[in-house]
Amino acid sequence: GAGVSQSPSNKVTEKGKDVELRCDPISGHTALYWYRQSLGQGLEFLIYFQGNSAPDKSGLPSDRFSAERTGGSVSTLTIQRTQQEDSAVYLCASSFVSGHETQYFGPGTRLLVL
C-alpha cells in the first residue's frame, strides 16, 4: 500500500475485555513505532521495533500492554483487561531507518472503553 494502514479505525469495547490493534507499515520500512494520543494531548511513545532487534518497550504504561511484530512487517498492539483510561487514539508510524524525520503515521485506531 501507499501508506501506513491501521485497523480497526474505531473500536468500542467493555471494561475488562482484551483488544488487538493492527498496523501495516509501509513496505520496506524497518522501524515501527506505536504512540497513544489522549484527547487534547500530544503523542505519547509506547513501543518501538527496529528490524530483528529486541523492541524498546520503555513507553508501555503497564503490563496490560504488549506488542508484537511478525516477520518484520505487521505489528499488533494488545491491551488486556482494558480500563476506561485506555480510551485514546492509538497511532502507528513507520520509517525506513530509525530516523525521526522520516516517520510516516497511519490514521490511528480510536479506542473507546465503556
CA–CA gap between residue 98 and residue 110 (Å, rounded):
26
| Binding of residue 23 to another protein (CB under 8 A) | no
| Contact by Cβ (8 Å): 43, 37 | yes
* Sheet of strand 5-7, all strands in order from the earlier edge strand to the far edge: 5-7, 19-24, 75-79, 65-69
Stretch near another protein under the rule CB under 8 A, chosen from 11-19, 60-68, 80-88, 90-98: 90-98
Q: Which stretch binds another protein (CB under 8 A): 14-22, 62-70, 78-86, 96-104?
A: 96-104
Q: Is 107 in the site for another protein (CB under 8 A)?
A: yes
| Window of 12-20, 49-57, 62-70, 75-83 that interacts with another protein by CB under 8 A | 49-57
Answer for the pair 51, 96: CB distance below 8 angstroms, yes or no: no
Q: Cell triple for residue 61?
A: 504504561
Residue with the three cell numbers 473500536 = 11
DSSP 107: -
> Per rule CB under 8 A, is residue 52 in the interface with another protein?
no
Supply the minimum distance, in Å, between the C-beta of residue 99 and another protein.
8
Please report, as ranges, the residues that interact with another protein according to CB under 8 A.
Answer: 4, 33, 40-45, 48, 50, 53-54, 56, 58-59, 91, 93, 98-101, 103, 105-108
